[in-house]
Amino acid sequence: MRVATGGTFDILHDGHKALLGAAFGLRPESVLIGITSDRFARESRREVNPYGVRERNLRRLLRARGWTRFSVEPIDDVVGPADDRPDLDVLVVSAERAHVGRELNEARERKGLRPLEVRAVPMVLAEDGLPVQSRRIRTGAIDPHGKRRTPLRVHVGSDNPVKVRAVRRVLSDLFDRVRVSAVPVATGVPEQPVDQQAPVGARNRARAALTDADFGVGVEAGLLWDASVGDYLDVQYCAVVDRAGRVTVGHGPGFEYPPPVIERVKAGKTVGEAMAEITGIREIGSKYGAIGYLTGRRMDRDALTEAAVLMAMVPRIRRDLYSR
């Protein structure tokens, strides 16, 4: 088997390593690696290292990984040198460049050559959910491993201090520098969400809050009917959306409300209003919450909300396991 792959290889990063790892992981007889020429590279970017520097750095990486069966050729157009090589079998490309495989095979078929098998490699994502790219490294936004070098901007779709505080605490533990802002938004669901209205509300809050931030975060609690329990459980959902449009969702622990609370909710009140009537504590939701009262202050709403936020961040913490 003979494999082809290629790229600009401007500032080498984890995305390049994943691409090359996929190519050499096929255990081919040889790998043809195309590197964009200076002229072709400058058609899509203002600044790029000279071809000689990029080739030297690439060869150094290949030697360090023990990959020896390869050849390097310049790429001066979209399809590169693979359009007239009858000895090739597979093309390995990044997911965002999958269209190159189609264009290459069309060019090969026009020349009477068999099409190549195209294997798309998932993009390696940075901490902010966007791909690790040389241009982003060059601007100082991320390092070659996708770690943010500039503060992560986060908008929380609420002015509830409990929600804002929970998001700040969780994300400050996950990232070096975070700027969290409250952005009140419409939820698009009833004031007292029931069943699937809660996760929908969380997603709506996150998307509406994102605007020009890196993450938009929505938190929405609702009553979820659990047939196995035969009752409603209070469940808090969190949704996190990034600038690429990817949404991750999680929720915290669930618990039953006392029957008098459910009766009042069925009569049209919110859980907060019902709990305020029963406990005599006004605006309990913005303090330690119903969970604080019901657990005898063993857990407060901050901890409950933090659990939901952390669960929504799981696919972003282990990005390598959740890549597509």
Give 281: exposed, middle or buried? Use CB within 10 Å, 0-12, 13-18, 19+. middle
User: Is 2-138 a CATH 3.40.50.10470 domain?
Assistant: no
Q: What is the pLDDT of residue 286?
A: 63
Q: Are strands 231-242 and 215-226 parallel, antiparallel or unpaired?
A: antiparallel
Name the pLDDT band for 320 (thresholds 50, 70, 90): confident
Interval 123-135: pLDDT, tens: 999 999 999 999 9
Q: Tell which CATH classification among 3.30.420.40, 3.10.450.50, 3.40.190.10, 3.90.950.10 matches the domain 152-317.
A: 3.90.950.10
Cα 3–Cα 9–Cα 11 angle in degrees, nearest 5:
150
d(CA 16, CA 134): 10
- pLDDT at residue 287 is higher than 80: no
Least confident of 32-41, 85-94, 226-235, 280-289: 280-289
Residues 6 or more apart from 244 whose CB is under 8 A from it?
129, 130, 131
Domain-wise residue ranges, the chain = 2-138, 152-317
Strand partners, 238: 219, 250
In the three-class reduction of DSSP (H, G, I as helix; E, B as strand; rest coil), residue 33 is classed as strand
CA 141 vs CA 52, 135, 302: distances in Å: 26, 9, 31
Q: Is 195 helix (H, G, I), strand (E, B) or coil?
A: coil
User: What confidence tens digit (pLDDT) does each residue in 292-314 have?
Assistant: 888 988 998 899 999 999 999 99
CA 50 to chain centre: 32
pLDDT in tens, 191-217: 889 999 999 999 999 999 999 999 999
Q: Please, what is the Cα angle at 12 between 318 and 247, to 5 degrees?
A: 30
Q: Report d(CA 148, CA 128) in Å as an integer.
A: 7
Residue from 154, 153, 136 nearest 145 by CA: 136
Q: What gap in Å lies between CA 191 and CA 194, rounded to an integer?
A: 10
Global pTM reads 0.85
pLDDT score of 7 more than 80 = yes
Q: Is the pLDDT of residue 285 over 70?
A: no
Backbone angles phi, psi at 35, to 5 degrees: -120, 125
* 228 vs 242, more confident: 242
CA distances from 157 to 27, 183, 209 (A): 49, 5, 5
